[in-house]
């Protein structure tokens, strides 16, 4: 397969040889399609919901979310999603509900928190996730 001659492929072999799952973390959903197409034997992906590098900085567009969802649904591997709340630009309730409408059963989300101004932010977000999962 094409990807096996590339330097990243050697890293995948090394990681697997050490007994660990291999993954790619990306801000660009096209990378998911490319690694699948070129035959990298990855175990999972970590995909940011915001393609920050496509626009040279922190620009959060709904088109990025849609592209990330298509990439997540296109592979049978787990894809934990990152930055679904877009650095607080998306409300937690809306972001979690949106995400749960598109991820697969084996997928997850990774949420970062800054609790300086809101000491209960972690607990509030967990409560929102529990509420969304109850429906």
Per-residue pLDDT tens for 33-87? 999 998 889 999 998 887 767 666 666 677 788 888 899 999 999 998 887 776 5
Question: Does residue 17 surpass a pLDDT of 70?
Answer: yes
The residue with tokens 């007994």 is 19
In this prediction, residue 2 carries a pLDDT of: 45
Pairing of strands 81-82, 44-48: parallel
Mean pLDDT taken over the chain: 79
In this prediction, residue 44 carries a pLDDT of: 93
- Beta-bridge mates of residue 81: 47, 109
What's the average model confidence in pLDDT over 9-15? 84
What is the residue extent of each domain of the chain?
A: 2-134
């Amino acid at each position: 397969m094409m990807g096996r001659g590339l330097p990243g492929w050697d890293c995948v072999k090394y990681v697997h040889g050490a007994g660990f799952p291999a993954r790619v973390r990306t801000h660009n959903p096209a990378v998911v399609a490319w690694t699948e197409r070129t035959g990298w034997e990855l175990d999972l992906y970590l995909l940011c919901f915001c393609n920050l590098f496509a626009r040279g900085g922190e620009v959060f567009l709904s088109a990025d979310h849609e592209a990330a969802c298509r990439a997540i649904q296109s592979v049978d591997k787990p894809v934990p999603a990152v930055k679904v709340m877009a650095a607080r630009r998306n409300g937690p309730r809306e972001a979690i509900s949106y995400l749960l409408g598109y991820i697969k059963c084996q997928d997850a989300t990774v949420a970062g928190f800054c609790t300086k101004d809101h000491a209960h932010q972690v607990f509030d977000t967990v409560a929102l996730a529990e509420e969304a999962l109850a429906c």
